[in-house]
């Protein structure tokens, strides 16, 4: 480390050479009557001069600590609340499994989407606490895969809405494509691509834990090195591609009849998702240490909550508060 020097008695002949090291560091020992007997030496990498510069003291470790950091408490409570909310919505959909509102919007894919959102909230716990090699690897891989399953499910819903509308036209050949198997195939294929990207990333250059001793004076930042930057941004880029395609398709079919139209809710959810991650990238690149991790955790929670709220809360409101609207007759009238 530069400028990690403290006072120490030594031979007078060493004074000029040692002051040169101080000049290079930009700090100087104060002149005294016995200045010819003062020299400087470098503290170990894990220590730092005290304020009087007479002894080395341990540096402070920085990470999102469960014990000392209020940010962790905020993320922890928010993640737990959103997990409980997701479980409640999933239970409500299972209870009303055979009702028109649940049936109309591809209930199998809805269940996959809710499960992936729940897992996305749970993967936040991998970002909290002191990072180690295994959590550094699992946090990015799990985040990438769970989010890809969620966005793939949204994409499958969007395509289903489009095909369902096309199939209502007389003599349309699109009716043969309106199957649950198609939706599952879309989710499986799109998610498999992300799994392949993550597998290559982990095999070639996996994330690992490192100590950053140079970014902040007097602080050792315990952080995760992403290993391959190309791998990390390939994961983000693929998720962005899926979200962008979903947003464009949903926007195109947002004005279809309400009996089929989940697209307007998907449009709002993808707008939230894309806005959060577009804003996250410059914030992520401009921060260091625990605040870099905090930015990513905030983006995970916000974007997942946006999908949950935009797609499922309107349906939950009908199921619980307006059961008279949960009928085939009402949907056909609309």
Cβ neighbors of 111 (< 8 A, separation 6 or more) are 90, 93, 94
**Residue 64 belongs to a domain:** no
Same structural domain, 15 and 154: no
pLDDT for res 216: 74
182 and 278 assigned to the same domain: yes
Where do we find the tokens 């010819």?
36
Do residues 131 and 209 touch, judged by C-beta distance below 8 A?
yes
Q: What is the mean pLDDT of the chain?
A: 78
> Has residue 65 been placed in a domain?
no
CA–CA gap between residue 25 and residue 82 (Å, rounded): 49
User: Given this model, what pLDDT does residue 35 score?
Assistant: 45
**Residues 132 and 35 placed together within one structural domain of the fold:** no
Asked if 117 and 262 sit in the same domain, the reply is yes
Residues 301 and 157 in one domain: yes
Q: Are 207 and 225 in contact (CB under 8 A)?
A: yes
User: Where residue 318 sits, what CATH number does that domain have?
Assistant: 1.20.1070.10
Say what the pLDDT of residue 328 is: 64
Structural domain boundaries enclosing 34: 5-58
Instruction: Verify that 130 and 278 share a domain, yes or no.
Output: yes
User: How far is the C-alpha of 100 from the C-alpha of 258, rounded, in Å?
Assistant: 13
Low-confidence ranges of the chain (pLDDT < 50): 1-2, 5-35
* Alpha-helical regions (H) of the chain: 15-25, 70-95, 100-104, 107-122, 133-167, 180-204, 229-252, 263-285, 290-321, 328-333
Residue of 215, 206, 214 lying closest to 288 (CA atoms): 215
Give the separation between CA 85 and CA 130, rounded to whole angstroms: 28
Are residues 234 and 214 both part of a single domain? yes
Give 37's DSSP letter: G
Give residue 332's pLDDT: 56
Q: Which residues of 92-118 are buried (b: 16+ CB within 10 A; e: fewer)?
A: bbeebeebbbbebbbbebbbbbbbbbb
Q: How confident is the model at residue 21, as a pLDDT?
A: 45
| One domain for residues 54 and 100 | no
Alpha-carbon distance values, 81 to 24, 85, 90, 322 (Å)? 53, 6, 14, 25
Same domain, 79 and 25: no
């Amino acid at each position: 480390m530069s400028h990690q020097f403290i006072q120490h008695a030594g031979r007078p002949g060493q004074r000029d050479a040692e002051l040169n090291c101080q000049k290079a560091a930009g700090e100087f020992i104060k002149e005294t009557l016995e200045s010819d007997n003062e020299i400087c030496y470098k503290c170990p990498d894990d220590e730092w001069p005290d304020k009087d510069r007479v002894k080395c003291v341990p540096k402070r470790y920085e990470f999102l600590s469960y014990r000392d950091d209020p940010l962790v408490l905020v993320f922890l409570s928010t993640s737990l609340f959103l997990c409980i909310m997701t479980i409640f919505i999933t239970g409500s959909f299972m209870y009303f499994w055979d009702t028109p509102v649940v049936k109309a919007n591809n209930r199998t894919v809805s269940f996959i989407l809710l499960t992936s959102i729940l897992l996305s909230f749970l993967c936040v716990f991998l970002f909290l606490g002191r990072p180690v090699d295994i959590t550094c690897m699992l946090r990015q891989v799990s985040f990438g895969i769970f989010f890809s399953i969620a966005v793939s499910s949204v994409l499958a819903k969007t395509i289903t809405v489009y095909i369902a509308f096309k199939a209502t036209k007389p003599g349309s050949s699109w009716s043969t494509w309106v199957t649950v198997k198609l939706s599952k195939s879309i989710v499986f294929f799109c998610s498999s691509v992300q799994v392949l990207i993550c597998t290559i990333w982990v095999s070639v250059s996996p994330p690992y834990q490192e100590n950053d001793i140079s970014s902040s004076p007097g602080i050792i930042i315990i952080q995760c090195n992403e290993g391959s930057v190309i791998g990390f941004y390939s994961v983000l880029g693929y998720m962005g591609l899926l979200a962008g395609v979903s947003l464009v398709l949903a926007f195109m079919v947002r004005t279809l009849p309400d009996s089929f139209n989940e697209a307007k809710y998907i449009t709002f959810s993808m707008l939230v998702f894309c806005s959060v991650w577009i804003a996250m990238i410059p914030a992520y690149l401009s921060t260091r240490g625990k605040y870099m991790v905090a930015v990513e955790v905030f983006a995970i929670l916000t974007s997942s909550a946006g999908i949950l709220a935009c797609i499922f809360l309107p349906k939950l409101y009908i199921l619980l508060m307006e059961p008279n609207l949960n009928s085939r007759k009402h949907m056909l009238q609309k």
